[in-house]
Amino acid sequence: MKIFRYISASICLLTSILISAQNNIAEEVAWVVGDQPIWKSEIEEQYNNMQYEKTPIAGDPYCIIPEQIAIEKLYLHQADIDTVEVPNSSVVAEVDARLNFYITQLGSKEKMEQYFRKSMPEMREAMMEMVRNSYRVRQVQQSLTKDVKATPSDVRKYFDKLPSDSVPFVPTQVEVQIMTLNPVIPRQEIEDVKARLRDMADKVNKGESEFSTLAILYSEDKESAVRGGEIGFMGRGHLDPEYASVAFNLNDPKRVSKIVESQYGYHIIQLIEKRGDRINTRHILLRPKVSDNDLTIAVNRLDSIRTDMVDNKKFTFEQATLSLSQDKDTRNNRGIMVNPNTGTPRFEMSQLPQEVAKTVNDMQPGEVSKPFIMIDPKLNREVVAIVKLSERIPAHKANISDDYQTIKDMYEEKLRGDILRKWLEKKIKDTYVRIEDGWRNCEFTHKGWIKEAKSQPESDRKEVKDSSES
């Protein structure tokens, strides 16, 4: 589900809180929502940081920002009522990934701290709170809109009533079939990888090294490496079968598993904790390296298969895919690639893997490409591929017959937006809100923030102590 536009800027712009405000700002309360103040300094800091980040603001920031913060507080209040909890491992994983991204982009931890003018612990603390709040807001929204489902009749009626200038423009789309071969890796390369993993396992088992340290230094799963190899709590169905089979049989957190081969490479695993049918582990992944010679051999083999397919007509692309392709996701589906964003075989060019998009760009429907080398986005390793362009749909204004899924998604998004807007306006109506003078002259996105005096009897007001008393 998409994050709606009225989520707080502190959710959408996770970096905005990380840069300190340049000016000393006198503390005062701008808004009060329930018993929660929104401080002027909080608004000013977020505005300064959005300017620093060159983030566009569609309107008066002193109206938009406090309203967004207030909306977040309403969602978080509902999250408290619903006892919405977020696994700490998920929060830590996202924060670590973001911090690692900043370090990579800026060159070092020290340069990152200098850029954001905060220490690593300060950045981590701020981001932990914001990421956790972001997760909790999304969970409340998903709960409120979980029953949204449009029928074909509903979608057609919605489309028929759309003004002409509201009908979306659909960019060029393609449907692609793919066949891949994995280069043959020499046995010695595999043995070298296993020897490295055995050496690491021995060091951990003997207490000479920490598993997490070795994962940070050597694991080729970069996403988990920054967390010391930790992947978070997962059930069997979310793990590679070979990995799960070994991981769920581990019992001693101090011991390291045997070497596990999966479709991703070779692993050693360490148990962190079991909770019912879920398990949290850390791992070190190493992948045998593919040489240029191995790739050339695979390209030549696939070129020979293409010749028999296209020139000699010995078999079809679909038959070859079923028998020879090593792409597990497509080989039993005639090689048809499925867009993970829509669940359909249609891709915009930007949604395809870069090498595939470049190859099909100048192809005609029915044409089979020559072999090319690409990075498998799931396995993150080089494979050799050929593709067949099944269909090209030129850019056009959406219509119900060709773009049903696009229109259905658009309609369901509107339904979700309507539900959340009505929920918010009721929540605003039922919540004590005070907006101080100087902050009230705004055209707010939602109705009801400014209330008549009679609706706020003095006995019901929850005053907030000023900063000198806090």
Q: Where are the domains of the chain?
A: 9-147+415-460, 173-184+291-397, 187-286
Residue 15: pLDDT above 60? no
Q: For position 108, what pLDDT does the model report?
A: 82
pLDDT band at 163 (very low <50, low <70, confident <90, very high): very high
Residue 238: pLDDT above 80? yes
pLDDT band at 398 (very low <50, low <70, confident <90, very high): very high
pLDDT band at 453 (very low <50, low <70, confident <90, very high): low
Q: What is the pLDDT of residues 79-124, one digit of tens each?
A: 999 999 888 777 877 887 778 777 777 788 888 888 878 888 888 8
Cα three-residue angle 221-224-228, rounded to 5 degrees: 115
8 Å CB contact between 282 and 229:
yes
Tell me the backbone φ, ψ of residue 271, rounded to 5 degrees.
-75, 135
Q: For position 283, what pLDDT does the model report?
A: 96
Amino acid at 330: T
Q: Look at domain 9-147+415-460 and name its CATH class.
A: mainly alpha
Tell the CATH topology of 187-286: Chitinase A; domain 3 (3.10.50)
Query: What letters, b where the CB count within 10 A reaches 16 and e where it falls short, cover 396-430?
Result: eebeeeebbebbbbbbbeebbeeebeebbeebbee
Tell me the backbone φ, ψ of residue 215, rounded to 5 degrees.
-65, -45
Least confident of 89-103, 224-238, 257-271, 381-395: 89-103
Q: Does domain 173-184+291-397 have CATH number 3.40.50.720?
A: no
In whole numbers, what is the pLDDT of the chain averaged over residues?
86
Beta bridge partners of 384: 181, 373
Fold: same for 173-184+291-397 and 187-286: yes
Residue 466: pLDDT above 60? no
pLDDT band at 23 (very low <50, low <70, confident <90, very high): very low
Q: Once rounded to an integer, what is the mean pLDDT over residues 389-404?
A: 93
Q: What is the pLDDT of residues 52-65, one digit of tens each?
A: 667 788 889 999 99
Question: The whole model's pTM is what?
Answer: 0.65
Q: How many Å apart are CA 239 and CA 250, to the nearest integer?
A: 15
Q: Residue with structure tokens 């056009």? A: 396
